[in-house]
Amino acid sequence: MSNINEILEGCRQNNRQSQEKLYRQFYPALFALCKQFFEDDHEALTALNNGMLKVYKNIEQFDSSKGELFNWTYTIVRNAALTLIRDKKQYAVIELKEGVTNIPSDNPFKSLEWKDIYVYLGKLPPVTRAVCSLFYIEGLSIKETASSLSIKEGTVKWHLNECRNKLKRIFGSSCQL
């Protein structure tokens, strides 16, 4: 990341050219992140832009001694995407009973390439896609996933189960998920 310190300083001074450089430099990875949560490019771009606005507004809070600018920005954009999902209130309130523990921990995406992951995620309903992205791709626990989406842990388990069932149908019955 060449000139990142100059870009960062320009962003702190509210320089529009520096903000554009930062946006363009991080755009590919951040758009790919948002596509994990939204099938529609417009919604993914909305989440990305909402996140970047928060980055620009809070750039003074970035502390390079605590981590990289990209990681800080990534977290803000991911949270903006999750906020957009929560605001849409499209998730079903379906919950597994407490005794149900048959959620397999094998990652159905581990052997796929990124382009294939996006295709399969795109075939899932929005909240199921978000749950799968957080759990399987981001590596959050069930509890962390539930907290991020403001839903119950049982609902997260239901979405993970739903994801696996839908992927079994998509991959075909020969696939062992």
| Domain map (residue ranges) of the chain | 4-88, 90-177
Q: How big is the CA angle at 23 (ends 19 and 25), to the nearest 5 degrees?
A: 115
pTM for this predicted structure: 0.63
Write down the architecture of domain 4-88 according to CATH: Orthogonal Bundle (1.10)
Where residue 109 falls among pLDDT bands split at 50, 70, 90?
Answer: low
Give the rounded percent of residues in the chain with a pLDDT score beyond 70: 79
pLDDT-derived band of residue 113, with 50, 70 and 90 as boundaries? low
Check the CA dihedral 145-150-152-156 and report its sign.
Answer: negative
Q: 3-18 pLDDT, tens per residue? A: 889 999 999 999 999 9
d(Cα 118, Cα 102) in Å, to the nearest integer? 26
Which of 50-59, 87-96, 128-137 is predicted most confidently?
Answer: 50-59
**Higher-confidence position of 80 and 148:** 80
For residue 52, which of 83, 30, 82, 29 has the smallest C-alpha distance?
30
pLDDT in tens, 32-71: 999 888 888 999 999 999 999 999 999 999 998 999 999 9
Phi, psi of 141 (to 5 degrees): -75, 170
C-alpha gyration radius of the chain? 18
Tokens of 44: 């993914």
Contact status, residue 146 vs residue 152, Cβ threshold 8 Å: yes
CA 17 vs. chain centroid, Å, equals 27
**Residue 101 vs residue 29, higher pLDDT:** 29
Select 90-177's CATH number: 2.60.40.1180, 1.10.10.10, 3.40.50.1370, 1.10.10.60.
Answer: 1.10.10.10
Helix (H) or strand (E) holding 160: helix 153-171
What pLDDT is recorded for position 173? 45
- What is the rounded average pLDDT for all residues in the chain? 82
Look at residue 2 and tell me whether its pLDDT is greater than 60.
no
* Closest alpha carbon to 54 in 30, 35, 38: 30
